[in-house]
């Protein structure tokens, strides 16, 4: 039987929402700019109305798909950070948050750019495929630092929430010494 550590920090639902909203907004913003790399890529060079429609769709899709990948990254970050904190004796929250942010930022960037290449369907897939390595490299230049910085900030916010909660727990215990004490009913 494995002995699990008690949940000493509880779940931080408000912080999870804040992290996910921040990641969604940042990735949506970066997705909008990333879509510009793929929106007008066409080897035909003509003004085909179908290609123009797909290019316009790609601009909107970039922001929306970026937001979706950001939300996924935020949820993964929160789950990973919660596990790291729950299973470690000491945690450097800013460093741990930045490291997790780097990883989920890279994952989000890869998913974003692959999704943007696939967004045009059969009309532009072959035209966009050669742009993927450049777009992905450029995206990682922005996505990794953005994920790391946001991860570090959210890690520090996580630490502040834990300190605040443990301070509130200590205040509650000092105000009500007979509550939550073993042997007192």
Sign of CA dihedral 119, 124, 128, 130: positive
Q: What is the pTM of this model?
A: 0.75
How many beta carbons lie within 10 A of that of residue 127, not counting itself? 17
Instruction: Report how far apart, in Å, the C-alpha atoms of 20 and of each of 95, 135, 143, 148, 183 are.
Output: 19, 25, 16, 15, 42
Measured from the Cβ of residue 90, the count of other Cβ atoms closer than 10 Å reads 4
Tens-digit pLDDT string for the chain (185 aa): 444 443 444 567 888 899 999 999 999 999 988 888 877 655 455 566 766 776 777 788 889 999 999 999 999 999 998 888 777 767 788 899 999 999 999 999 999 988 888 876 655 666 777 878 888 899 999 999 999 999 999 999 888 888 777 765 555 445 544 444 444 44
């Amino acid at each position: 039987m494995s002995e699990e550590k008690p949940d000493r920090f509880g779940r931080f639902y408000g912080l999870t929402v804040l992290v996910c909203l921040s990641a969604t907004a940042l990735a949506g913003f970066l997705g909008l700019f990333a879509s510009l790399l793929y929106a007008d890529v066409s080897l035909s060079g003509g003004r085909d109305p179908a290609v123009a429609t797909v290019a316009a769709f790609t601009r909107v899709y970039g922001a929306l798909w970026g937001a979706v990948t950001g939300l996924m990254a935020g949820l993964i970050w929160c789950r990973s950070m919660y596990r790291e904190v729950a299973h470690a004796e000491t945690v450097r929250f800013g460093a741990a948050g930045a490291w997790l942010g780097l990883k989920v930022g890279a994952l989000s960037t890869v998913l974003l750019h692959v999704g943007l290449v696939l967004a045009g369907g059969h009309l532009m897939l072959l035209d966009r495929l050669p742009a993927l390595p450049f777009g992905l490299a450029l995206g990682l230049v922005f996505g990794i630092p953005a994920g790391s910085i946001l991860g570090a900030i959210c890690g520090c916010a996580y630490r502040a929430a834990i300190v605040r909660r443990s301070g509130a727990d200590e205040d509650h215990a000092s105000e009500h010494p007979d509550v939550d004490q073993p042997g007192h009913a």
